[in-house]
Amino acid sequence: METTGAGSAKLVAACVIGGIVLGASVLALHLAGPVAIPALPPADSLRRRFSRRRRRPVRVYMDGCFDMMHYGHCNALRQAHALGDELIVGVVSDDEITANKGPPVTPLHERLIMVRAVKWVHDVIPDAPYAITEDFMNKLFNEYNIDYIIHGDDPCLLPDGTDAYALAKKAGRYKQIKRTEGVSTTDIVGRMLLCVRERSASDSHNHSSLQRQFSHGHGQKIDDSGSGSGTRISHFLPTSRRIVQFSNSRGPGPDSRIVYIDGAFDLFHAGHVEILRLARELGDFLLVGIHTDQTISSTRGPHRPIMNLHERSLSVLACRYVDEVIIGAPWDVSKDMITTFNISLVVHGTIAENMDFMKDDLNPYAVPRAMGIYRRLESPLDITTSTIIRRIVSNHEAYQKRNEKKEASEKKYYDSKSFVNGE
């Protein structure tokens, strides 16, 4: 009984003490005022947060011939990428291009190298059809998980006059971007054809060089020689915004190994891409020097370059292997320049338009060679700007007919052109 009494006393004491503590807590809460208790987020909000974490990337598809790929193509791919998270690019086969537009200047394997090198491209589909059929569209949606099909605001018509993207529009999975003005493959081929005609003209004709016409934005030049080619001089207007859009936001780190390579990079082609890829593998940061129009004209003739300095700069900036460019780089690589940019290695390929400068006393790489930081790289592809021009010249009639056909549709586009919002 005594044990039971003692236990009861302890229980009573515990209850009293507990009551006192509880009362004190209630009094403290009362004196402190109301306390906000955080509410749990609604169930639908939690679901949205969870789905955002697990949301698959938006995949967009854009196709094209990408023949003689230029900065206009690159800007289209940049805009397409901005409409999603991953850009998948279809590259049309040689046979499809020939059937619908005429023979391509660059074969499929070179065009694939070019497209894969564009920094906004996630993946590539080779041998894509020129027109999107229902079967191919379903393959894009079901196998490649494509959400939207993208094309520019310029019409893409099949030989029978129908819209190549009619099915995508009908499916509600089509988005449009703004065409990049001032350049097209047709325009570039026209420049080369004009270059060939001017070179064959009498030397007594005191005409200005193509380079000056392209660089200084002379008015549209329509060929009235009777050939009917209707060649246009580029009306490309460079802006600081466009250069920023193409540029990388990052610079080299304090301990980066900076590799430097320079050149004209005219008619930017697969040979350029491959030597830039090799150069980038030798360091952490690839700096590319792009020579001025005047420098190129003085070393390669008055009809070069075909593309002006700003056009060439944008093409190089779009390449995924390039970190930074010097727009209007000097011909000679000086000690001051090496110090200013903290260059660790200067490289040059074994394939170029003219390697005679290597024998001259005034070798532009004399300083880096003396410093022991110069290296020649074996060029993976035997392609130069002259290679591309020779392809045009050797098939002159076919390309002229192709241009005449394409220029008719381009004229119709420009005549009916209206403002399209975009970047």
Beta-carbon contacts of residue 142 (< 8 Å; ≥ 6 apart): none
H-type alpha helices, 33-120:
43-54, 71-82, 94-100, 108-116
The residue that leads in pLDDT, 397 or 340, is 340
**Which pair of structure tokens corresponds to residue 209?**
């060089």
Cα distances from 177 to residues 272, 362, 423, in angstroms, run 28, 48, 8
Q: What domains, with CATH codes, occur in the chain?
A: 59-177 (3.40.50.620), 240-376 (3.40.50.620)
pLDDT at 16: 53
Query: What would the pLDDT profile of 382-409 be if each residue is shown by its tens digit?
Result: 999 999 998 888 877 666 666 565 555 5
On whether the CB atoms of residues 284 and 256 are closer than 8 A, the answer is yes
Angle at alpha carbon of residue 216, lines to 213 and 218, rounded to 5°: 55
Structure tokens at 86: 């991953």
pLDDT at 220: 38
SS3 (DSSP) at 229: coil
pLDDT at 221: 40
For residue 117, the model assigns a pLDDT of 98
Residue from 401, 99, 417 nearest 230 by CA: 401
Beta bridge partners of 343: 258
Task: Compute the distance between CA of residue 15 and CA of residue 29 in angstroms, rounded to an integer.
Answer: 21
Higher pLDDT, residue 242 or 20 = 242
pLDDT at 159: 73
Pick from 40-54, 92-106, 197-211: least confident = 197-211
Instruction: Compute CA distances 147 → 81, 83, 235, 306, whole Å.
Output: 12, 10, 35, 38
One-letter amino acid at 107 equals P
The tens digit of pLDDT for each residue in 40-69 reads 556 556 555 555 556 899 999 999 999 999
Give the residue carrying structure tokens 């990049």: 180
- Which pLDDT belongs to residue 49? 57
**C-alpha–C-alpha distance, residues 400 and 230, integer Å:** 10
pLDDT band per the 50, 70, 90 thresholds, residue 30: low
Q: Token pair for residue 378?
A: 């074996």
Can you give the pTM of this predicted structure?
0.76
Please tell me the predicted confidence (pLDDT) of residue 24.
Answer: 54
pLDDT in tens, 230-252: 334 556 777 899 999 999 988 99
Q: Which of 49-63, 154-168, 272-286, 296-310 has the highest mean predicted lDDT (pLDDT)?
A: 272-286
- Residue 359 is classified by DSSP as G
Query: Two tokens at 70?
Result: 């230029």
DSSP secondary structure letter of residue 119: T
pLDDT of 316 over the 80 cut: yes
Q: Cα 196 from chain centroid?
A: 30
Query: φ, ψ for residue 194 (rounded to 5)?
Result: -65, -40
Residue 412 has pLDDT above 60, yes or no: no
